[in-house]
Amino acid sequence: METRVVMIGVVVKNIEASTAVNEILHEYAPYIIGRFGLPYRKKGIHLISVAVDAPQDKISALSGKLGALENVSAKTLYSDC
């Protein structure tokens, strides 16, 4: 099955949502190349970037599940490879 490489940017606006975010990321761990997270204490948010190599349906599901969480925003940036 053909895969795509994407970056998913995640903004967690409430630390209580981080458990649900981590559970979803763990569910999709086989597709995750790497992740990088930063707490931005000044604004009280957490920023996470997730590099993914997966089939389109898995990318859409992962991004959709993250974005559906309360106090979480997620956007996907697609590569052309």
Half-sphere exposure of 19 (CA within 13 A, CB side): 1
What digits encode the pLDDT tens for the residues 4-35?
Answer: 999 999 999 998 999 999 999 999 999 999 99
Full set of structural domains in the chain with CATH:
4-78 (3.30.70.1150)
Helix 18-27, helix 56-68: angle, nearest 10: 170
What is the model's pLDDT at position 67?
A: 95
Which among 29, 28, 48 is positioned nearest to 37, based on CA atoms?
A: 48
Q: Is the pLDDT of residue 81 over 80?
A: no
**Nearest in space to 6 (alpha carbons), one of 46, 38, 33, 24:** 33
